[in-house]
Amino acid sequence: MRTIWVQNYHRAVTEAGAEVKRQESKNLPPGRLRLASPYDTDTRYGLKQSSWWTGYKIHISESCDETDDQDAPTGQATIPGADGPPPRLISSIATIDATVTDAEMTEPVHHMLAGRGLLPAEHFLDSGYVSAELIVGMKKNFGVTLVTPVLLNSSPQARAGAGFDRTAFTIDWEKRQATCPRGDTSTWWSPATQRGTKAIVIKFDKETCRPCPVRDQCTRSKTGGRTLSLQPRELQEVLDHASLQQSDEQWRAKYGTRAGVGGTIHQAVAVTGMRRARYLGLQKTHLEHVLSAVALNLIRLDAWWNGHPLDRTRVSHLARLDLSLAA
Protein backbone atom coordinates (compact mmCIF):
# COMPACT_ATOMS: atom_id res chain seq x y z
CA MET A 1 0.00 0.00 0.00
CA ARG A 2 2.86 2.38 0.83
CA THR A 3 4.37 1.78 -2.63
CA ILE A 4 1.04 2.61 -4.27
CA TRP A 5 0.87 5.89 -2.37
CA VAL A 6 4.47 6.84 -3.11
CA GLN A 7 4.09 6.10 -6.82
CA ASN A 8 0.83 8.01 -7.30
CA TYR A 9 0.88 10.87 -4.78
CA HIS A 10 3.29 13.37 -3.32
CA ARG A 11 3.26 15.83 -0.44
CA ALA A 12 3.40 19.49 -1.43
CA VAL A 13 3.84 22.51 0.81
CA THR A 14 2.12 25.69 -0.36
CA GLU A 15 1.12 28.97 1.24
CA ALA A 16 -2.07 27.26 2.37
CA GLY A 17 -0.04 24.58 4.12
CA ALA A 18 0.85 20.97 3.38
CA GLU A 19 -1.37 18.98 1.09
CA VAL A 20 -1.29 15.70 -0.81
CA LYS A 21 -1.43 15.88 -4.62
CA ARG A 22 -1.63 13.25 -7.34
CA GLN A 23 1.54 12.81 -9.36
CA GLU A 24 1.52 14.23 -12.87
CA SER A 25 1.66 11.58 -15.59
CA LYS A 26 5.23 12.57 -16.53
CA ASN A 27 6.37 11.81 -12.97
CA LEU A 28 4.77 8.37 -12.74
CA PRO A 29 7.08 5.31 -12.85
CA PRO A 30 7.30 3.29 -16.08
CA GLY A 31 4.37 0.94 -16.64
CA ARG A 32 6.35 -2.19 -15.74
CA LEU A 33 7.34 -0.75 -12.38
CA ARG A 34 4.06 0.92 -11.47
CA LEU A 35 1.81 -1.16 -9.26
CA ALA A 36 -1.82 -1.36 -10.37
CA SER A 37 -3.27 -2.95 -7.24
CA PRO A 38 -2.15 -3.29 -3.62
CA TYR A 39 -3.83 -6.71 -3.53
CA ASP A 40 -1.98 -8.21 -6.50
CA THR A 41 1.46 -6.69 -6.98
CA ASP A 42 2.06 -8.66 -10.21
CA THR A 43 -0.74 -6.95 -12.15
CA ARG A 44 -0.02 -4.02 -14.45
CA TYR A 45 -2.04 -1.60 -16.55
CA GLY A 46 -2.48 -2.90 -20.09
CA LEU A 47 -3.35 -1.07 -23.30
CA LYS A 48 -4.04 -2.57 -26.71
CA GLN A 49 -5.59 -0.40 -29.37
CA SER A 50 -8.45 1.29 -27.46
CA SER A 51 -8.83 -1.32 -24.69
CA TRP A 52 -7.55 -0.72 -21.16
CA TRP A 53 -7.38 -3.31 -18.43
CA THR A 54 -5.57 -4.20 -15.22
CA GLY A 55 -3.97 -7.62 -15.09
CA TYR A 56 -2.05 -9.86 -17.44
CA LYS A 57 -1.66 -11.00 -21.03
CA ILE A 58 -1.98 -14.57 -22.24
CA HIS A 59 -0.36 -16.00 -25.37
CA ILE A 60 -1.87 -19.18 -26.84
CA SER A 61 -0.20 -21.53 -29.31
CA GLU A 62 -2.07 -24.41 -30.90
CA SER A 63 -1.44 -27.13 -33.45
CA CYS A 64 -2.91 -26.78 -36.93
CA ASP A 65 -2.09 -30.11 -38.60
CA GLU A 66 -4.55 -31.18 -41.26
CA THR A 67 -3.36 -34.81 -41.55
CA ASP A 68 -6.01 -37.42 -40.74
CA ASP A 69 -5.57 -41.03 -39.65
CA GLN A 70 -5.60 -42.27 -43.23
CA ASP A 71 -2.18 -40.74 -43.66
CA ALA A 72 -0.78 -42.45 -40.58
CA PRO A 73 2.23 -44.73 -41.09
CA THR A 74 1.46 -48.39 -41.81
CA GLY A 75 1.03 -50.39 -38.65
CA GLN A 76 0.14 -47.37 -36.49
CA ALA A 77 -3.00 -47.97 -34.46
CA THR A 78 -5.97 -45.73 -35.24
CA ILE A 79 -8.25 -44.33 -32.58
CA PRO A 80 -11.73 -45.89 -32.58
CA GLY A 81 -14.40 -43.32 -33.32
CA ALA A 82 -11.93 -40.64 -34.37
CA ASP A 83 -13.36 -38.81 -37.35
CA GLY A 84 -11.55 -36.49 -39.74
CA PRO A 85 -8.25 -34.64 -39.22
CA PRO A 86 -6.86 -34.45 -35.68
CA PRO A 87 -8.26 -31.64 -33.52
CA ARG A 88 -6.29 -28.49 -32.95
CA LEU A 89 -4.80 -28.75 -29.49
CA ILE A 90 -3.31 -25.97 -27.38
CA SER A 91 0.41 -26.65 -27.17
CA SER A 92 1.63 -23.66 -25.19
CA ILE A 93 0.28 -21.14 -22.70
CA ALA A 94 2.32 -18.11 -21.67
CA THR A 95 1.08 -15.68 -19.02
CA ILE A 96 2.93 -12.40 -18.52
CA ASP A 97 2.19 -8.94 -17.15
CA ALA A 98 0.14 -6.63 -19.31
CA THR A 99 3.00 -4.32 -20.30
CA VAL A 100 5.04 -6.93 -22.21
CA THR A 101 4.68 -6.48 -25.97
CA ASP A 102 3.80 -9.35 -28.29
CA ALA A 103 7.16 -9.18 -30.08
CA GLU A 104 8.99 -9.65 -26.77
CA MET A 105 7.24 -13.02 -26.34
CA THR A 106 8.12 -14.55 -29.71
CA GLU A 107 11.47 -16.00 -28.60
CA PRO A 108 10.30 -17.13 -25.11
CA VAL A 109 7.35 -18.98 -26.68
CA HIS A 110 9.72 -20.80 -29.04
CA HIS A 111 11.94 -21.74 -26.09
CA MET A 112 8.86 -23.19 -24.35
CA LEU A 113 7.90 -25.20 -27.42
CA ALA A 114 11.48 -26.40 -27.97
CA GLY A 115 11.73 -27.55 -24.36
CA ARG A 116 8.85 -29.99 -24.95
CA GLY A 117 9.80 -31.01 -28.47
CA LEU A 118 6.82 -29.21 -30.00
CA LEU A 119 8.53 -26.77 -32.35
CA PRO A 120 6.68 -26.51 -35.68
CA ALA A 121 8.41 -26.27 -39.04
CA GLU A 122 6.22 -23.24 -39.77
CA HIS A 123 4.73 -20.96 -37.13
CA PHE A 124 1.73 -18.84 -38.14
CA LEU A 125 1.81 -15.57 -36.20
CA ASP A 126 0.07 -12.23 -35.99
CA SER A 127 2.17 -9.38 -37.41
CA GLY A 128 2.58 -7.92 -33.90
CA TYR A 129 4.84 -10.84 -32.95
CA VAL A 130 7.47 -10.39 -35.64
CA SER A 131 10.18 -8.17 -37.01
CA ALA A 132 12.88 -8.78 -39.59
CA GLU A 133 15.31 -9.60 -36.77
CA LEU A 134 12.93 -12.18 -35.32
CA ILE A 135 12.24 -13.81 -38.69
CA VAL A 136 15.99 -14.27 -39.20
CA GLY A 137 16.68 -15.20 -35.57
CA MET A 138 13.96 -17.84 -35.25
CA LYS A 139 15.15 -19.51 -38.46
CA LYS A 140 18.78 -19.55 -37.30
CA ASN A 141 18.21 -20.53 -33.67
CA PHE A 142 15.20 -22.83 -33.91
CA GLY A 143 14.88 -23.77 -37.58
CA VAL A 144 11.34 -22.34 -37.58
CA THR A 145 9.89 -20.35 -40.46
CA LEU A 146 7.65 -17.55 -39.27
CA VAL A 147 4.62 -17.20 -41.55
CA THR A 148 3.20 -13.75 -40.96
CA PRO A 149 2.28 -10.52 -42.73
CA VAL A 150 5.05 -7.95 -42.54
CA LEU A 151 4.58 -4.21 -42.49
CA LEU A 152 4.67 -3.00 -46.06
CA ASN A 153 6.51 0.06 -47.35
CA SER A 154 5.28 3.12 -45.46
CA SER A 155 6.67 5.77 -47.83
CA PRO A 156 4.27 8.47 -49.09
CA GLN A 157 4.33 6.89 -52.55
CA ALA A 158 3.43 3.44 -51.19
CA ARG A 159 0.64 4.83 -49.00
CA ALA A 160 -0.83 6.74 -51.94
CA GLY A 161 -0.46 3.78 -54.28
CA ALA A 162 1.06 6.09 -56.90
CA GLY A 163 4.54 7.11 -57.92
CA PHE A 164 7.82 5.32 -57.24
CA ASP A 165 8.09 3.66 -53.86
CA ARG A 166 11.23 1.92 -52.60
CA THR A 167 10.50 -1.29 -54.51
CA ALA A 168 10.82 0.63 -57.79
CA PHE A 169 14.55 1.10 -57.11
CA THR A 170 17.20 -1.53 -57.84
CA ILE A 171 19.63 -2.06 -54.96
CA ASP A 172 23.19 -3.20 -55.69
CA TRP A 173 24.51 -4.27 -52.29
CA GLU A 174 27.98 -5.08 -53.60
CA LYS A 175 28.50 -1.67 -55.21
CA ARG A 176 26.60 0.09 -52.39
CA GLN A 177 24.45 1.86 -54.91
CA ALA A 178 20.80 2.25 -55.88
CA THR A 179 19.38 2.80 -59.36
CA CYS A 180 16.14 4.72 -59.89
CA PRO A 181 13.43 3.70 -62.42
CA ARG A 182 14.92 6.10 -65.00
CA GLY A 183 18.39 4.58 -64.73
CA ASP A 184 20.12 7.22 -62.58
CA THR A 185 22.35 6.00 -59.73
CA SER A 186 22.66 7.22 -56.17
CA THR A 187 25.66 9.24 -55.03
CA TRP A 188 25.52 8.66 -51.26
CA TRP A 189 25.31 5.44 -49.22
CA SER A 190 25.82 5.64 -45.49
CA PRO A 191 25.10 3.42 -42.46
CA ALA A 192 23.00 5.23 -39.85
CA THR A 193 20.91 4.72 -36.74
CA GLN A 194 17.22 5.56 -36.95
CA ARG A 195 15.07 5.40 -33.83
CA GLY A 196 17.64 3.17 -32.18
CA THR A 197 17.96 0.63 -35.01
CA LYS A 198 20.61 0.19 -37.68
CA ALA A 199 19.74 1.49 -41.13
CA ILE A 200 21.27 2.47 -44.45
CA VAL A 201 20.50 5.88 -45.92
CA ILE A 202 20.79 6.31 -49.70
CA LYS A 203 20.62 9.68 -51.43
CA PHE A 204 20.42 10.80 -55.04
CA ASP A 205 22.12 14.00 -56.14
CA LYS A 206 19.79 16.98 -56.25
CA GLU A 207 21.22 18.03 -59.61
CA THR A 208 20.13 14.68 -61.01
CA CYS A 209 16.63 14.78 -59.51
CA ARG A 210 15.83 18.47 -60.08
CA PRO A 211 15.32 18.31 -63.90
CA CYS A 212 13.74 14.83 -63.83
CA PRO A 213 10.37 14.87 -65.66
CA VAL A 214 8.81 12.44 -63.14
CA ARG A 215 10.16 14.18 -60.05
CA ASP A 216 6.65 14.74 -58.62
CA GLN A 217 6.08 10.97 -58.63
CA CYS A 218 9.34 10.30 -56.80
CA THR A 219 9.93 12.87 -54.06
CA ARG A 220 8.09 15.63 -52.21
CA SER A 221 11.32 17.55 -51.59
CA LYS A 222 11.33 20.94 -53.32
CA THR A 223 15.11 21.30 -53.58
CA GLY A 224 16.82 18.01 -52.62
CA GLY A 225 17.09 14.63 -54.32
CA ARG A 226 15.34 11.36 -53.51
CA THR A 227 16.29 9.62 -50.24
CA LEU A 228 15.83 5.94 -49.39
CA SER A 229 16.12 4.20 -46.01
CA LEU A 230 16.94 0.49 -45.86
CA GLN A 231 17.61 -2.03 -43.13
CA PRO A 232 20.89 -3.99 -43.18
CA ARG A 233 21.11 -6.36 -46.16
CA GLU A 234 20.08 -9.63 -44.49
CA LEU A 235 17.06 -8.05 -42.82
CA GLN A 236 16.01 -6.03 -45.85
CA GLU A 237 16.11 -9.06 -48.13
CA VAL A 238 13.98 -11.02 -45.66
CA LEU A 239 11.39 -8.23 -45.59
CA ASP A 240 11.38 -7.91 -49.38
CA HIS A 241 10.90 -11.65 -49.78
CA ALA A 242 8.10 -11.71 -47.20
CA SER A 243 6.36 -8.73 -48.83
CA LEU A 244 6.50 -10.44 -52.21
CA GLN A 245 5.08 -13.66 -50.76
CA GLN A 246 2.13 -12.09 -48.99
CA SER A 247 0.86 -10.55 -52.22
CA ASP A 248 0.29 -14.08 -53.56
CA GLU A 249 -3.20 -15.59 -53.27
CA GLN A 250 -1.77 -19.01 -52.42
CA TRP A 251 0.14 -17.51 -49.49
CA ARG A 252 -2.98 -15.73 -48.25
CA ALA A 253 -4.95 -18.95 -48.36
CA LYS A 254 -2.18 -20.69 -46.44
CA TYR A 255 -2.05 -17.94 -43.82
CA GLY A 256 -5.79 -18.32 -43.39
CA THR A 257 -4.90 -21.35 -41.25
CA ARG A 258 -4.11 -18.95 -38.42
CA ALA A 259 -7.74 -17.79 -38.28
CA GLY A 260 -8.50 -20.87 -36.18
CA VAL A 261 -6.82 -19.36 -33.15
CA GLY A 262 -9.57 -16.74 -33.06
CA GLY A 263 -12.06 -19.53 -32.42
CA THR A 264 -9.77 -20.87 -29.69
CA ILE A 265 -9.68 -17.51 -27.95
CA HIS A 266 -13.47 -17.24 -28.17
CA GLN A 267 -13.87 -20.75 -26.78
CA ALA A 268 -11.42 -20.03 -23.97
CA VAL A 269 -13.37 -16.93 -22.97
CA ALA A 270 -16.85 -18.44 -23.38
CA VAL A 271 -16.18 -21.85 -21.82
CA THR A 272 -13.52 -21.23 -19.18
CA GLY A 273 -13.82 -17.49 -18.54
CA MET A 274 -10.12 -17.08 -19.24
CA ARG A 275 -10.35 -13.32 -19.60
CA ARG A 276 -11.06 -12.84 -15.88
CA ALA A 277 -8.53 -14.22 -13.37
CA ARG A 278 -9.89 -16.02 -10.30
CA TYR A 279 -6.67 -15.85 -8.28
CA LEU A 280 -4.06 -13.32 -7.23
CA GLY A 281 -0.48 -13.42 -8.47
CA LEU A 282 1.18 -14.30 -11.76
CA GLN A 283 1.99 -17.90 -10.87
CA LYS A 284 -1.52 -18.82 -9.76
CA THR A 285 -3.04 -17.03 -12.75
CA HIS A 286 -0.74 -18.93 -15.10
CA LEU A 287 -1.75 -22.21 -13.46
CA GLU A 288 -5.39 -21.28 -14.01
CA HIS A 289 -4.65 -20.65 -17.69
CA VAL A 290 -2.87 -24.00 -18.02
CA LEU A 291 -5.83 -25.83 -16.47
CA SER A 292 -8.20 -23.98 -18.80
CA ALA A 293 -6.10 -25.08 -21.79
CA VAL A 294 -6.19 -28.69 -20.57
CA ALA A 295 -9.99 -28.48 -20.29
CA LEU A 296 -10.30 -27.16 -23.85
CA ASN A 297 -8.03 -29.90 -25.16
CA LEU A 298 -10.13 -32.56 -23.44
CA ILE A 299 -13.32 -31.09 -24.91
CA ARG A 300 -11.81 -31.19 -28.39
CA LEU A 301 -10.42 -34.70 -28.00
CA ASP A 302 -13.74 -35.96 -26.69
CA ALA A 303 -15.57 -34.46 -29.67
CA TRP A 304 -13.05 -35.97 -32.09
CA TRP A 305 -13.10 -39.43 -30.51
CA ASN A 306 -16.87 -39.49 -30.66
CA GLY A 307 -17.10 -38.14 -34.19
CA HIS A 308 -18.70 -34.82 -33.23
CA PRO A 309 -16.76 -32.02 -34.95
CA LEU A 310 -16.77 -28.77 -33.01
CA ASP A 311 -16.71 -26.60 -36.12
CA ARG A 312 -20.14 -26.16 -37.65
CA THR A 313 -20.66 -24.65 -41.06
CA ARG A 314 -22.55 -21.40 -40.53
CA VAL A 315 -24.84 -19.96 -43.19
CA SER A 316 -25.67 -16.28 -42.91
CA HIS A 317 -29.26 -15.00 -43.04
CA LEU A 318 -28.51 -13.38 -46.40
CA ALA A 319 -27.16 -16.67 -47.81
CA ARG A 320 -30.23 -18.56 -46.57
CA LEU A 321 -32.50 -15.97 -48.17
CA ASP A 322 -30.66 -16.38 -51.46
CA LEU A 323 -31.07 -20.17 -51.33
CA SER A 324 -34.81 -19.88 -50.61
CA LEU A 325 -35.28 -17.56 -53.57
CA ALA A 326 -33.36 -19.91 -55.83
CA ALA A 327 -35.67 -22.77 -54.85
Say what the alpha-carbon torsion angle 148, 153, 158, 159 is, to the nearest 10 degrees: 70
Report the distance separating Cα 228 and Cα 194, nearest Å.
13
pLDDT in tens, 184-210: 999 999 998 888 888 999 999 988 898
Residues 6+ apart with CB under 8 A from 151: 127
pTM: 0.77
Highest mean pLDDT (candidates 13-17, 76-80, 177-181, 223-227): 177-181
- The pLDDT value given to residue 322: 65
Laid out side by side, the sheet with 90-97 consists of 44-48, 51-62, 90-97
Task: Measure Cα distances from 278 to 1, 16, 37, 288 in Å.
Answer: 21, 46, 15, 8
- The pLDDT value given to residue 76: 43
- The radius of gyration of the chain from alpha carbons, rounded to an integer in Å, stands at 27
Mean residue pLDDT of the chain comes to 84
- The pLDDT value given to residue 254: 87
- The pLDDT value given to residue 263: 86
Asked whether 98 and 44 are in contact (CB, 8 A), the reply is: yes
pLDDT in tens, 30-70: 888 888 888 889 999 888 878 888 999 999 999 987 765 44
Query: How sure is the predictor about 315, in pLDDT bands with cuts at 50, 70 and 90?
Result: low
Q: State the Cα angle at 3 between 8 and 17, rounded to 5°.
A: 50
Query: How sure is the predictor about 73, in pLDDT bands with cuts at 50, 70 and 90?
Result: very low
Q: Is 251 exposed, middle or buried (0-12, 13-18, 19+ CB in 10 A)?
A: middle
Report the distance separating Cα 273 and Cα 317, nearest Å.
29
Mean pLDDT over residues 181-185, rounded? 91
- The pLDDT value given to residue 320: 67
Mean pLDDT over residues 287-299, rounded? 95
